Amino acid sequence: ACWLLIYDKERGTFKTNRRDRRFLPSVDGLVLPKLTGPMLEEIEIALRPTPAHEALAKGFGLTINRSDMSTLAENQWLNDEVINFYMNLLVERTKQNSYLPKLYAFNTFFFTKMAAEGHSAVRRWTRKVDLFFYDIVLVPLHFTMHWCLATVDFRKKHIAYYDSMDSNRERHNCLHKLQLYLEAESQDKRGHGLDWEPWKQQVISDLPQQHNGSDCGMFTCQYTECMSRDAMISFGQQHMPYFRKRVVYEILHGQLLPV
């Protein structure tokens, strides 16, 4: 079994979740919050298909209907609403925990519009946002029925691409377009460009990969969950049924389970 050892900045001490029954040890080194019987019952009810338009969760200007939630059932392809809601849950967690990286997440429609029409088409999307204030910017990507992810890390001066199928030929073009967008955004908001000399673009290799055609959205969500707290990406395909149930519960309750 594997247990987390966590440093408490305020007290200058370490604490462990070894005796915390909320956590379920795993033989492959990944520690996951346990889903109890009542939690699983609530999840099962939420995944019932009808009535399809019943609202199950609201927040961040979004509504998750039963039809949206049903995309979290096994072997289903996650839709925009679920991914956007989950990204907002990640952002909300970072707002409430100062030790986590400052996080901003674009919605799933941003990159498609920006890539096709340029910075001017999405200029108003950040009218009240200073992207350069954040540590990490998340950019969910949708390419022909496949979800993947790009990130901008202003701390490390790093633009990266994450793909659970490692198959998209547009990945380098994607990173280049994000760089062009950031340059235009800096010129527009700050009156000067970025110094690109120390920056790197990278397609991340050795990522856990999906073994089916339906889990790309869940892999994308879990890549972001790990990165949002600077954690190692250590899950695998075998964890996807668990993560699907867990995300149902987290959306229903409007907050992430503690890790």
Annotated catalytic, 135? no
Catalytic residue among 68, 148, 153, 163: 163
Q: Are strands 136-142 and 103-105 parallel, antiparallel or unpaired?
A: parallel
Catalytic residue among 68, 146, 148, 153: 146
Q: Alpha-carbon dihedral of residues 158, 256, 208, 139, nearest 10 degrees?
A: -40
Annotated catalytic, 163? yes
CB atoms within 10 A of CB 139: 24
Annotated catalytic, 216? yes
**How far from 98 is each of 9, 15, 91, 112, CA to CA, in Å?**
11, 18, 12, 32
b/e per residue 154-192 (b: at least 16 CB within 10 A): beeeebbbbbbbbebeebeebbebbbebbebbbeeeeee
Catalytic residue among 148, 174, 216, 221: 216
Tokens describing residue 59: 């927040």
Q: Which of 15, 18, 21 is nearest to 3 (CA)?
A: 18
CB atoms within 10 A of CB 101: 16
DSSP state for residue 169 in the 8-state scheme:
T
CA distance 22 to 159: 35
SS3 183: helix
Residues with catalytic function: 146, 163, 216
